[in-house]
Amino acid sequence: MPVILCQPEDMNGDEFTEIVIRQASAADAGAIASIYAEHVRSGTASFDTVPRSAAETEQKIAEITAKGWPFLVAARGADVVGYAYVTLFRDRTAYGFTCEDSIYVRSDQAGKGIGSLLMGALIDASTQCGFRQMMAVIGGAEPASVALHTKMGFEHAGRMRSVGRKFGRWLDTMYMQLELGEGDRTPPDKEPS
Ligand SMILES: CC(C)(COP(=O)(O)OP(=O)(O)OC[C@H]1O[C@@H](n2cnc3c(N)ncnc32)[C@H](O)[C@@H]1OP(=O)(O)O)[C@@H](O)C(=O)NCCC(=O)NCCS
């Protein structure tokens, strides 16, 4: 897994000089759970209404990394400021080459390029895993998420109207899609079974 250093000029004059993107470990579970909790409580990107505990987060990190899939964190020193991972888009066998991304940046660090760095690394790592398509399932069609995915080359792939209810509002879910690697131009090395 390559370590990616963020250039200082990307950080809008912030005091820090580098962001490292690395694989998550169990030791990151508390910080990751805390970032997710703030977005569950205040945003619509996740349709969860109850945050995941640190123990549940540690288990999720273990399950995803055991499959050889990326679960990445963006860190400034010991400080985890964002994370991203992939899961299968659907668990039926034929979906085996399609992953779904999840990406969250700590609110006080948003808009500084960290999401773009994480997503770039996630796309590279997921392609190396053999995935051919990446789906974004964007709760509430959150503008920041749509902007990030559009910037990274995702295309609009559909919208489900009013499928969610949170904060007293009906919420749409937007699908966006990115082809990875050779996409559907070649068959995979091994057919799903
Ligand atoms: C979506 C999210 C991960 C983006 O992370 P980030 O570090 O703020 O992203 P970046 O700073 O790299 O910005 C990426 C692009 O999105 C744009 N953008 C960021 N926030 C935006 C906002 N609120 N509205 C519109 N555009 C926005 C940026 O301008 C940038 O485009 P540019 O480089 O062409 O200017 C972050 O806002 C977040 O955690 N949101 C809540 C959770 C979420 O929606 N996750 C996605 C679940 S599918």
Residue ranges of domains in the chain, CATH in brackets: 3-179 (3.40.630.30)
H helical segments located in 74-142: 114-128
Determine the Cα–Cα distance for residues 154 and 27; give it in Å rounded to an integer: 32
Residue 193: predicted pLDDT: 85
Residue 2: predicted pLDDT: 47
188 alpha carbon – ligand 1 mean position (Å): 32
Tell the residue nearest (CA) to atom 34 of ligand 1. Answer: 151
Query: What one-character-per-residue DSSP string does 123-161 give?
Result: HHHHHHTT--EEEEEEETT-HHHHHHHHHTT-EEEEEEE
Residue 4: predicted pLDDT: 54
Cβ–ligand 1 distance for 103 under 6 Å, the answer yes
Enter the pTM of the model: 0.93
Give mean pLDDT in consecutive 10-residue pieces for the chain, a chain of 193 residues.
Answer: 49 64 98 98 97 98 98 96 98 97 97 97 97 98 97 98 98 98 96 89
Determine the Cα–Cα distance for residues 121 and 132; give it in Å rounded to an integer: 16
Residue 90: predicted pLDDT: 97
Task: Tell which residue, 39, 135, 124, has the closest CA to residue 87.
Answer: 135
